[in-house]
């Protein structure tokens, strides 16, 4: 008798990082289910794209209204699964998504409207041209755990308004937030097959990359991004890759120490330092170095670490033990190489399994891993410099190039410095907040990735460009069609001279030679 083969299904577990409490266990979707989800999306996408743009805008308005009404519940759900304080979830996730919806609503019509293409080519004056922006079809999104709501939501909003269907694969550490996002979209009027969530771990993500999607948006590590790029290249799958950063902060000699130190502390420790735009390296002019360090230490020691559900908390837990160990290893490496730990530098086990004290390191240098590899934790390493040129060298001495900040009272000086830094974004006298500007593109250079999300350039990533050319004289044979010969060659030489010769006399002679083109009888 034949026996049935039992296939063991993988599962993932979502935990509260503050307490270690199991929130939910979910089965991973196997490759076949991922492929089926993509197939359903492909079948549903044409009808979604065929909707009038006003209808898609209406759906986004519904989404915006629903999210606003549920803002506190969504923020608390983010805190339960990702750990950050509720107020940070409101500010850096919910508010960012609401504003992204506003941007898409306001700009969708003008962006997707046919764009007239003007040209000055004399040979093509009978033609009219337009640029069309058409959806790719099915967009795959693989999103991270550190901003489990704002990152996938902003990318999805851009994809949907452009007429695409979306398959979202969230991090295995934060799947519940993705399901909340799906519920909001579906309640707002997005058809269930047009926005789908596939739950799983790394093999599930690989199945999505290898499926019949038309483009992939990935946010994650450099190592994973490189593997995805190699896989995508095999079938010329277009990708957008946001792969993290080692963002430098440059504090010039004329900076306001109080303001800049507050910016450094918040920029290094927001979301427990688990942000791709975090201050990961801080360089301070030697003339103010000691005062700046002292200010950072004093402010760090005032921060309250605890559960993100407590409104008094400034810094919540890290996401999991593995990430905490990376932070510990970098701090210990720096200590062993001569750095001084002036605040923090230890686990806070009495608070829970994943808490690490906000840490300030002084006297660091580029031999230390904390200054070269992404930390992604609550660590602020501070290093002195002696000149603007040296600060630029330090800032650019990295494989990453996502963002940077320059702090100075002189705006012109700050902007001049910013132009010399190799990064996708440089802020003067602020940190991280660029992510909350929906009009501003987000993305990096070097190992920080390729492509952009957010703003007009993020919308451009969601469409294919088509050029539509129409000739206004359909009954006229084109002058350059077959029927070549010596006479035609001389006429075309004259045509080129008429347009591009340096002297007026030569242009006039060329024009006269060109007149013969109008009397061509040799054309086929």
pLDDT (tens digit, 0 to 9) for every residue of the chain, 524 residues total? 445 545 568 999 999 999 999 999 999 999 999 999 999 999 999 999 999 999 999 999 999 999 999 999 999 999 999 999 999 999 999 999 999 999 999 999 999 999 999 988 888 888 999 999 999 999 999 999 999 999 999 999 999 999 999 999 999 999 999 999 999 999 999 999 999 999 999 999 999 999 999 999 999 999 999 999 999 999 999 999 999 899 999 999 999 999 999 999 999 999 999 999 999 999 999 999 999 999 999 999 999 999 999 999 999 999 999 999 999 999 999 999 999 999 999 999 999 999 999 999 999 999 999 999 999 999 999 999 999 999 999 999 999 999 999 999 999 999 999 999 999 999 999 999 999 999 999 999 999 999 999 999 999 999 999 999 999 999 888 888 898 988 899 999 999 999 999 999 999 999 999 888 877 777 78
pLDDT the model gives residue 436: 94
Strand partners, 115: 131
pLDDT the model gives residue 7: 57
> Considering the domain boundaries, does residue 449 fall inside one?
no
List Cα–Cα distances, 280 to 93, 274, 424, 439, in angstroms: 21, 10, 16, 25
On whether both 141 and 266 belong to a single domain, the answer is no
CA atoms of 454 and 442, how far apart (whole Å): 6
> Considering the domain boundaries, does residue 381 fall inside one?
yes
CA atoms of 220 and 207, how far apart (whole Å): 17
On whether both 332 and 266 belong to a single domain, the answer is yes
On whether both 177 and 255 belong to a single domain, the answer is no
On whether both 312 and 182 belong to a single domain, the answer is no
On whether both 275 and 395 belong to a single domain, the answer is yes
> Considering the domain boundaries, does residue 181 fall inside one?
yes
Smallest Cα–Cα separation from 163: which of 197, 191, 141, 144? 191
CA atoms of 198 and 42, how far apart (whole Å): 15
On whether both 255 and 226 belong to a single domain, the answer is no
Cα angle value 423/426/428 (rounded, 5°)? 160
Q: Reduced to 3 states, what is the DSSP secondary structure of residue 357? A: coil
pLDDT the model gives residue 1: 46
On whether both 224 and 361 belong to a single domain, the answer is no
> Considering the domain boundaries, does residue 86 fall inside one?
yes
> Considering the domain boundaries, does residue 452 fall inside one?
no
> Considering the domain boundaries, does residue 40 fall inside one?
yes
- Residue 490 phi, psi dihedral angles, 5° rounding: -65, -40
Q: Reduced to 3 states, what is the DSSP secondary structure of residue 314? A: coil
CA atoms of 486 and 210, how far apart (whole Å): 56
Count of beta carbons in the 10 Å neighbourhood of residue 399: 13
Side-chain half-sphere exposure of 491, counting CA atoms within 13 A = 15
Q: What is the full DSSP assignment across 298-363? A: HHHTT--BS-TTSTT-SB---S-HHHHHHHHHHHHHHHHTT-EEEE--SB-TTT-TT-B--EEEES
On whether both 184 and 285 belong to a single domain, the answer is no
For position 391, which CATH number holds?
3.40.309.10
> Considering the domain boundaries, does residue 163 fall inside one?
yes
Smallest Cα–Cα separation from 514: which of 496, 488, 487, 491? 491
CA atoms of 335 and 354, how far apart (whole Å): 21
On whether both 299 and 181 belong to a single domain, the answer is no
DSSP, res 91? I
Q: Which positions are annotated as active-site residues?
A: 242, 276
On whether both 222 and 320 belong to a single domain, the answer is no
b/e for 427-448, b at 16 or more Cβ within 10 A? bbbebbebbeebebbbbbebbb
On whether both 239 and 252 belong to a single domain, the answer is no
Asked whether the beta carbons of 170 and 197 are under 8 A apart, the reply is yes
Q: Are strands 400-401 and 165-169 parallel, antiparallel or unpaired?
A: unpaired
> Considering the domain boundaries, does residue 442 fall inside one?
no
Side-chain half-sphere exposure of 508, counting CA atoms within 13 A = 3
Reported pTM: 0.95
On whether both 309 and 431 belong to a single domain, the answer is yes
Q: How many domains does the chain have?
A: 3
Strand partners, 404: 426
Domain boundaries, position 495: 477-519
pLDDT the model gives residue 184: 98
CA atoms of 375 and 235, how far apart (whole Å): 33
pLDDT the model gives residue 519: 78
CA atoms of 11 and 27, how far apart (whole Å): 4
Asked whether the beta carbons of 397 and 418 are under 8 A apart, the reply is no
């Amino acid at each position: 008798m034949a026996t049935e083969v039992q296939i063991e299904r993988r599962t993932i577990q979502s935990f509260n990082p503050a307490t270690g409490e199991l929130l939910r266990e979910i089965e991973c979707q196997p490759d076949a289910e991922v492929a089926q989800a993509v197939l359903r999306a492909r079948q549903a996408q044409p009808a979604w794209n065929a909707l009038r743009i006003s209808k898609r805008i209406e759906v986004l308005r519904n989404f915006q209204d629903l999210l606003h009404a549920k803002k506190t519940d969504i923020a608390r759900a983010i805190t339960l699964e990702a750990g950050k304080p509720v107020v940070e979830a409101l500010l850096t996730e919910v508010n960012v998504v609401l504003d992204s919806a506003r941007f898409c609503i306001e700009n969708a019509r003008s962006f997707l409207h046919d764009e007239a293409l003007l040209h000055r080519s004399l040979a093509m004056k009978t033609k009219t041209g337009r640029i069309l922006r058409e959806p790719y079809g099915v967009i795959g999104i693989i999103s991270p755990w550190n901003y489990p709501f704002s990152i996938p939501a902003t990318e999805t909003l851009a994809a949907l308004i452009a007429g695409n269907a979306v398959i979202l694969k969230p991090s295995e550490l934060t799947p519940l937030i993705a399901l909340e996002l799906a519920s909001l979209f579906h309640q707002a009027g997005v058809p269930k097959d047009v926005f789908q969530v596939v739950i799983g771990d790394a093999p599930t993500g690989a199945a999505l990359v290898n499926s019949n999607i038309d483009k992939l948006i990935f946010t994650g590590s450099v190592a994973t991004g490189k593997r995805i790029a190699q896989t995508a290249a095999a079938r010329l799958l277009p990708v957008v890759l946001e792969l993290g950063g080692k963002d430098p902060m440059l504090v010039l000699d004329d900076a306001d120490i109080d303001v800049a130190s507050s910016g450094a502390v918040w920029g290094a420790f927001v979301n427990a330092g688990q942000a791709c735009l975090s201050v990961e390296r801080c360089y301070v002019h030697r003339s103010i170095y000691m005062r700046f360090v002292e200010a950072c230490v004093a402010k760090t020691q005032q921060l309250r670490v605890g559960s993100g559900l407590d409104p008094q908390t400034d810094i919540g837990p890290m996401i999991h033990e593995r990430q905490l160990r990376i932070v510990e290893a970098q701090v210990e490496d720096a200590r062993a190489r001569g750095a001084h730990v002036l605040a923090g530098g230890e686990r806070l086990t009495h608070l829970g399994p994943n808490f690490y004290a906000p840490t300030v390191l002084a006297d660091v240098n580029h031999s230390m891993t904390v200054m070269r590899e992404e930390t992604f934790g609550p660590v602020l390493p501070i290093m002195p410099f002696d000149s603007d040129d040296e600060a630029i060298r330090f800032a650019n001495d990295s494989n990453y190039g996502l963002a940077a900040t320059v702090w100075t009272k002189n705006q012109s000086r700050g902007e001049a410095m910013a132009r010399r830094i190799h990064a996708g974004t440089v802020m003067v006298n602020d940190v991280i907040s660029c992510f909350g500007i929906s009009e501003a593109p987000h993305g990096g250079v070097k190992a920080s990735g390729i492509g952009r999300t957010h703003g007009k350039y993020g919308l451009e990533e969601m469409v294919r460009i088509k050029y539509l050319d129409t000739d206004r004289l359909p009954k006229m044979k084109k002058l350059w069609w077959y029927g070549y010969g010596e006479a035609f060659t001389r006429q075309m030489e004259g045509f080129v001279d008429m347009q591009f010769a340096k002297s007026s006399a030569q242009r006039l002679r060329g024009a006269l030679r060109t007149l013969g083109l109008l009397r061509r009888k040799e054309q086929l």
